[in-house]
Amino acid sequence: MSSMTSIHTLFGEKEFWVIADSQEFLDECSHQGLNTAHIHELSTLPRNSIIFSFSDNAARLTLEIAKATPVKKSVFCAAQVFDPSFSSANYGLRLLLNSDFRRALERQRFFLNMLNSHDSFLLSGEDTFGKVTLNRQAEPYALIEEDISENFIHSAAEFFEVHYAHMNIHERCPFCLNGKLKISGILTVLRKANPQLSKNIRARLALLSDSLAKAGGFLTVVENKVTSLQADNEEHIETLKLAAGARGLGLTEFAIGVNEEIATCIDYKVNSQMNEGINGVHLAIGDGSSGFHIDFLSPDVNVTPVVQ
């Protein structure tokens, strides 16, 4: 599963446990020599743990147990809102175990300082150009080393990105983005079933994901609104409209990824939360409730301050 070359940057040389509600997944972890425990058999969390929930019930139970555990360092992966399959969980754990958490937090601090020191940024890279202007009243969300110095439970994604979110439509968006970005893959999240969505929308998104993973694509954004997504010489904007729900094609997230270590082993065909931490930037539409939250992953994009 993993050589575990980098997990010590989070837990040191101390023992850690993999916890989940899937016995198949835990059996595979045990086969790889990892300590394991079933979430339904715990009343408190181990001192150090990586937790995968394969169901909403397990996610709720995890947070309840975490509240009852005063001493803990835990990384939480809500697999059920991405892809709760055995293969996807194995993939996500492999990337986690080989991620340099300390380095990622250092890079988060670097970008946090940069974002707080400038108003505008250029996006550049292969077949990519754009500009982001920030609302100076908004604050980016990031983790820094002080946040993990004592007890915590954090989502895996929090370790590997600095981001601005615009989830409340009645509030001013913290950023304004214009540009055309080369896309290597997407992630899709729907936290609960919505009967108002098209019945075949999951299948359409799966085909789009496979197409992007195979050959990439191009995302065009004008004043925070996605106006085009081209892949395989086809336009896919209608699929995005059907999938995004009430928030439509307006951006709901702008993020900078900091996980350098996964660049050589990332698989964009897998709908894994770990993929969004890849270097470069990712943008998103949708709220994940009224419709899908869809992340567009654009690795190796440079974010450069516009110096006045």
For residue 44, tell me if it sits in a domain.
yes
- pLDDT tens track for 22-57: 999 999 999 999 999 999 999 999 999 999 999 999
Domain membership of residue 42 as a residue range:
8-98
Last residue within a domain, chosen from 98, 130, 149: 98
Same domain, 292 and 211: yes
Do 68 and 44 contact (CB within 8 A), yes or no? Answer: yes
Same domain, 36 and 167: no
Among left, alpha and beta (phi > 0; psi -120 to 50; other), residue 253 is beta
Amino acid identity of residue 234, one-letter, is E
Same domain, 169 and 226: yes
Query: What are the two backbone dihedrals, phi and then psi, of residue 97, each rounded to the nearest 5 degrees?
Result: -65, -20
Do 98 and 264 contact (CB within 8 A), yes or no? Answer: no
Same domain, 168 and 296: yes
Across the chain, mean pLDDT equals 95
For residue 156, tell me if it sits in a domain.
no
For residue 147, tell me if it sits in a domain.
no
For residue 148, tell me if it sits in a domain.
no
d(CA 219, CA 236): 10
H helices, E strands: number in the chain: 7, 17
For residue 252, count other CB atoms closer than 10 A to its CB: 24
Same domain, 93 and 111: no
Q: What pLDDT was estimated at residue 1?
A: 41
- pLDDT tens track for 286-298: 999 999 999 999 9
For residue 2, tell me if it sits in a domain.
no
Closest CA to 247 of 220, 276, 221, 225: 225
Domain count, the chain: 2
CA distances (Å), origin 52, targets 18, 67, 83, 126, 155? 8, 17, 11, 35, 10
Amino acid identity of residue 108, one-letter, is Q
Q: What residues have CB less than 8 Å from 109, skipping those under 6 apart?
A: 142, 144, 145
Same domain, 189 and 93: no
Amino acid identity of residue 65, one-letter, is I
For residue 165, tell me if it sits in a domain.
yes
Same domain, 124 and 203: yes
For residue 149, tell me if it sits in a domain.
no
Same domain, 117 and 198: yes
pLDDT < 50: residue spans in the chain: 1-2
Same domain, 116 and 249: yes
Q: What pLDDT was estimated at residue 6?
A: 82
For residue 3, tell me if it sits in a domain.
no
- Give the DSSP H/E element, type plus range, for residue 75: strand 73-78
pTM listed for this prediction:
0.95
